[in-house]
Structure 1
Amino acid sequence: MRLKIAIIGAGISGLSCALALERHGIYCDIYERKHTIGNLFPFGEIILQIMTRPCKDPLDFFKKFGLVLRPLNEITRIVIKSPTRKVEIRGRLGYIFERGQGKNSIENQLAQQIKSKIFFNVNANYEDLKKSYDYVVIATGNEMAAKQLTEWESVVSARVKGGILLGDFEPHSVYVWFDRSYAKSGFAYLVPLSNKKASLILVATYTLKEEIEDLWQTFLFRESLKYKMIETFETELESGMIKEHQVGNVYLVGNAGGFLEPAFGFGLANSIKTSFYCADSIVKGGNYDGKVKDVLKGIEKMVELRKEIDNMRDEDYDRLLRIIGNPFIKGLIYKTNFNIMKHMPFFIKLIKKPGQ
């Protein structure tokens, strides 16, 4: 008898899960509340080589799951700025992907590969669907369902403001800023979408909705960012840990399952990984919570790192960049396959001032 599976959300997690299930001959019903595929606002998403180790090339990470995704560009230069310091890193550092509703966005690249039916403009309720489907996969990209289904422990929350810039950009270069005056314990980053267009995003932690505009203007002024801005967008973000990732016949994947990395907000790799683990559990009857343990171990390290970052001062960011700029340290981090992210919480503790 054919399994009946519903997926709520046609984002990266939902589409990845559908693709994984289709490889086993199982076609799903996908429910998407928007009228089309992709984020409402476009932006550039990066995946860095330091985040997918031991895979030396992030594209090899995708290939492990049988995915062929086309990046916009390879990242060969990252410029990191703190209040008084700047570090430039060069090498094969990662890739830029398009997000949003454009035909080359990751979401649309995945959508082109699936045959399952997508029902748009439907605000699906898992409580209703779980009665008429064998399994329901929640891939909404937010924590709302997790808070209803199981115990949710918030790790970090942030307000996000971004814009699309027009100007002259080096398409292989990414810029990152750390400054508590506008990002608090968050950060800002510029990712080129072409040599004439870029996305600029400020992630300000523990920030109220009414505060974000002032922080955004402070950021633009302090960093002298005078590009023409053709659109802006604003949203909120929360990262947390949950007790159970499968409740009865309901599965939680990607950001909806608490798999958003809380230190820097990387979610792409975990979204794909957990979606494939979910599909494997459904098809083979394995324990999903057991399968995601390796993902959770990595997230737990990032929770430690987030706690350390929350207590950093601007002078700590300056000190961090001075250390990263050391040729030996820079080589260790970026020229080897050393898993630096695993040791980052300890590293940050060492550079902070005594008594913090």
Structure 2
Amino acid sequence: MKVGIIGSGLAGLSCAFELKKYGIIPTIFEKRSYLGDGLDYTIVTLRIFDLYTQNPMDYFGEKYNLSISPLRPLRKIIMMGSDKKTTVRGRLGYIFEKSSTKNSLENQIMEQVNLPILFDHSINIEDLQNDFDYIVCANANHETAKSLNNWTTTFSAHTRIATVLGNFKTDTITMWLNTEYAKHGYAYLLPYHKDKANLALTVDNISSHELDYYWKKFLTLENLQYKILESRDIESNGGFTHTLKKDNIYLAGNAGGLLDDFLGFGSMNAIESGILAAKSIVKHLDYNHLLEHILIDQNKKHKLRKVFNTFDNKDLNKLITLLGFPIVKQYIYNNPFYRVTNSPSIQTFYNHKIKINQL
């Protein structure tokens, strides 16, 4: 059985990890000349948005025998509106590295894969169809799904991620919600080390050349004067595929639309979809059915996004105030079993738009 994997990110490497268990050695193609990401940055998982009730490390370790480790736990979230602020503390999630360093998620998985990668190979589906029995597209790009008439866009955004210097608490993320510079996106500061952090701004429904304007407005309004070492701009599109498998082609991770369009999280979905693509290939299982739990969760988060898109700054400030109430903190953040998408709060969240306007 010949399997070609396009992309050596989380989805592609996880697919290779699972295939190797069954004695199948895939050919992995990567358009870049290195593994991981050229910009050192960190990502978070938030417990209340996780698909599973375990932490990610236990979930992947127990279910798939895949070992991943966070950089550190997330203990504090500071939420900033245009004139309101709320701080939440507790066991809120985990911070992971996404970079080219040894401790990055990609390199952690690569150590367990230990297979060669064909770097500097920019490959299209058409290049592989005659030579491979199965093709796993894991290149974090929805263009393949679009070319197969298999894609619907639900959310588009531009993000600038900057590496900044300062004095930071490494277990804390600061988030800004302000429609003046983020529209219905958000900004965040997430430390990488105690003296280095990622400062990012995501703005929805703008063109790439407009990002400079919103970035400058963000820095000015929030009076942020960090020294910027480097930055990178990313265009992302949230959406969904009508099927995650078409003929012998499997779409995994962001290539399959598994980036949630509420907060833009997708790393854990990428890992699991890669593993399940391999299981589908080896055991001849229905790939769409294997991913049904992720797809249901994605749909719920899409509903949250639709509500969030109706909020203005007045609504956001009142929501931030609401999330700061002690009884809400106790129910949401200190309840280990609470998940936003697995509770009756979906309809409640829809109703918040009406309720908070009455406060």
Q: Same fold (TM over 0.5)?
A: yes
**Secondary structure of the equivalent of 2:122?**
coil
Describe the superposition over 1:137-178 as per-residue Cα deviations: whole angstroms up to 9, x where unpaired: 000001000101232111100001110011110011111111
Contact 2:5 2:28 in 1 (8 A): yes
**Secondary structure of the equivalent of 2:94?**
strand
Cα distance between partner residues in 1 of 2:56 and 2:245: 28
Cα distance between partner residues in 2 of 1:270 and 1:119: 24
Aligned pair partner of 1:38 in 26, 36, 48: 36
Cα distance between partner residues in 1 of 2:99 and 2:149: 30
The residue type paired with residue 126 of structure 2 is: E
* Cα distance, 1:54 vs structure 2: 4.1
Superposition pairs for residues 323-338 of structure 1, below 5 Å? 323-336=322-335, 337-338=337-338
Cα distance between partner residues in 2 of 1:94 and 1:72: 11
Identity %: 34
Against the structure 1 CA distance between its residues 303 and 333, is the aligned structure 2 distance closer, same or farther, given a 3 Å change threshold?
Answer: same
**Secondary structure of the equivalent of 1:312?**
coil
Cα distance between partner residues in 2 of 1:240 and 1:128: 26
Determine whether 1:216 maps to 2:212: no
Superposition pairs for residues 96-245 of structure 1, below 5 Å? 96-245=95-244
Cα distance between partner residues in 1 of 2:132 and 2:325: 56
Residue 256 of structure 1: aligned partner = 255
Cα distance between partner residues in 2 of 1:216 and 1:99: 23
Deviates more, 1:298-307 or 1:63-72: 63-72
Cα distance between partner residues in 2 of 1:158 and 1:82: 20
State TM-score, norm by structure 1: 0.96
Residue 340 of structure 1: aligned partner = 340
Describe the superposition over 1:206-247 as per-residue Cα deviations: whole angstroms up to 9, x where unpaired: 111111011011111111211111111111000111111111
Tell me the C-alpha RMSD between the 2 structures. Answer: 1.6
Cα distance between partner residues in 2 of 1:240 and 1:201: 22
Deviates more, 1:38-47 or 1:291-300: 38-47
Contact 2:155 2:261 in 1 (8 A): yes
Paired residues in the alignment total 354
Moved over 4 A (4+): none
The residue type paired with residue 295 of structure 1 is: I
Contact 1:28 1:117 in 2 (8 A): no
* Cα distance, 1:352 vs structure 2: 1.3
5+ residue gaps, structure 1, are none
* Cα distance, 1:205 vs structure 2: 0.6
Cα distance between partner residues in 1 of 2:46 and 2:65: 19
Describe the superposition over 1:270-300 as per-residue Cα deviations: whole angstroms up to 9, x where unpaired: 1111111111101100111111111111111
Describe the superposition over 1:121-145 as per-residue Cα deviations: whole angstroms up to 9, x where unpaired: 0011111212111100000001000
* Cα distance, 1:61 vs structure 2: 2.3
Contact 1:78 1:173 in 2 (8 A): yes
Contact 1:308 1:345 in 2 (8 A): no
Against the structure 1 CA distance between its residues 53 and 259, is the aligned structure 2 distance closer, same or farther, given a 3 Å change threshold?
Answer: closer
Cα distance between partner residues in 2 of 1:41 and 1:340: 31
The residue type paired with residue 350 of structure 2 is: K
* Cα distance, 1:101 vs structure 2: 1.4
Residue 49 of structure 1: aligned partner = 47
Deviates more, 1:39-48 or 1:155-164: 39-48
5+ residue gaps, structure 2, are none
Determine whether 1:17 maps to 2:15: yes
**Secondary structure of the equivalent of 2:32?**
coil
Contact 1:58 1:94 in 2 (8 A): no
**Secondary structure of the equivalent of 1:193?**
strand
Deviates more, 1:262-271 or 1:34-43: 34-43
* Cα distance, 1:100 vs structure 2: 1.8
Residue 84 of structure 1: aligned partner = 83
Cα distance between partner residues in 2 of 1:54 and 1:259: 16
* Cα distance, 1:302 vs structure 2: 1.1
Cα distance between partner residues in 2 of 1:81 and 1:165: 19
Contact 1:72 1:95 in 2 (8 A): yes
Cα distance between partner residues in 2 of 1:203 and 1:61: 29
Describe the superposition over 1:240-280 as per-residue Cα deviations: whole angstroms up to 9, x where unpaired: 11111111111000000011111000101111111111111
Residue 281 of structure 2: aligned partner = 282
* Cα distance, 1:353 vs structure 2: 4.0
Cα distance between partner residues in 2 of 1:161 and 1:344: 32
Contact 1:150 1:244 in 2 (8 A): no
The residue type paired with residue 352 of structure 1 is: K
Cα distance between partner residues in 1 of 2:292 and 2:67: 25
Residue 26 of structure 1: aligned partner = 24
Contact 2:52 2:59 in 1 (8 A): no
Against the structure 1 CA distance between its residues 53 and 153, is the aligned structure 2 distance closer, same or farther, given a 3 Å change threshold?
Answer: closer
